[in-house]
Amino acid sequence: MVVAGDDRLGQDRPGRAGGRVLLLDQDRRRWDRLLIRRGLAALARAQELGGAYLPYTLQAAIAACHASALTAAETDWAEVAAIYGVLARVSPSPVVELNRAVAVGMALGPEAGLRLVEPLLSDRTLDGYPQLPAVHADLLAKLGRDTEARREFTRAAELTRNAAERDLFLRRAASS
């Protein structure tokens, strides 16, 4: 599960049955290749014009890493994590840090991601933000810490106002 912030590391999408399809579970063959090529060209142009380290360009570079990989497994997670590291310096925020934690967890393993998430758990600006306990739960689940993961997925479900997202979190809680 990858779910965080605007990148949603799971930029989750509505599925055919109305449920959520997380980034890791999406069939990237269905993504619009023409729009991806246009986006990659626009990113290259922005970088050529000297905007490589602007927040939106960095976010586009992260999206390009996802769009350039034909499967989630082929995503260059180390590159995504590195770009988030730059974005965290250019435009620091707890949500950027949460997204970086997800990418680091994918690149280096759940323990590494968890080390970045744990300080965020006491960040008052993320109170009420369901993606924080969801990411925390996902990393805990990957480490086999099922009781803690269940508790965090349940907390995420209680915090979200999105019914499809709530269902996703409750399903993850039940399967942990």
Q: What are residue 20's phi and psi, to 5 degrees?
A: -95, 140
Q: How far apart are CA 102 and CA 92, in angstroms?
A: 16
Report which DSSP code applies to 47: I
Q: Spell out the domain ranges in the chain.
A: 13-175
Helix axes 131-142, 110-117, angle to 10 degrees: 150
- What would the pLDDT profile of 62-118 be if each residue is shown by its tens digit? 999 999 999 999 999 999 999 999 999 999 999 999 999 999 999 999 999 999 999
pLDDT above 90: percentage of residues in the chain: 81
Q: In this predicted structure, what is the pLDDT of residue 16? A: 53
pTM: 0.86
Residues 6+ apart with CB under 8 A from 82: none
Q: How far is CA 16 from CA 1, 26, 28, 30, 70, in A?
A: 19, 12, 15, 13, 21
Q: What amino acid occupies position 14?
A: P
Q: In this predicted structure, what is the pLDDT of residue 147? A: 98
Q: In this predicted structure, what is the pLDDT of residue 10? A: 39
Please give the average per-residue pLDDT across 150-163, as a whole number: 97
Q: What six digits make up the tokens of 6? A: 């605007």
Fold type of domain 13-175: 1.25.40
